[in-house]
């Protein structure tokens, strides 16, 4: 989670830039980006981006819980530690 301060336009621009970089960078090939309340346009601009958009933070909470369960289950199935 990242907290940005500023006017809405600046915050959206910075958050979008960070999300796009993390979602497309080769150094972050195991990263999945979840944006809450912004970022819908990223799917159209960068279809190869590893990003998901949700309209509200409450929706993101459910998605993050699902990811945590999957990681926990994967950890026990093959004995390896999952990526953070």
pLDDT in tens, the chain (84 residues): 778 899 989 998 898 888 888 877 888 777 778 888 777 777 777 666 677 788 888 888 888 888 888 877 776 666 666 655
Q: Which residue has the tokens 């990681």?
A: 71
CA 64 to chain centre: 9
Paired strand residues for 51? 33
Rounded CA separation 83/71 (Å): 9
Rounded CA separation 40/80 (Å): 34
Q: Is the pTM of this model over 0.95?
A: no
Of residues 56, 53, 24, the one with CA closest to residue 40:
53
Q: Which residue has the tokens 């199935």?
A: 77
């Amino acid at each position: 989670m990242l907290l940005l301060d500023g006017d809405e336009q600046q915050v959206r621009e910075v958050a979008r830039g960070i999300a796009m970089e993390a979602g497309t960078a080769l150094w972050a090939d195991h990263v999945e980006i979840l944006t809450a309340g912004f970022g819908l346009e990223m799917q159209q601009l960068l279809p190869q981006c590893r990003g998901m958009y949700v309209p509200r933070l409450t929706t993101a909470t459910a998605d993050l819980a699902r990811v945590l369960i999957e990681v926990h289950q994967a950890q026990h199935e093959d004995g390896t530690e999952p990526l953070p």
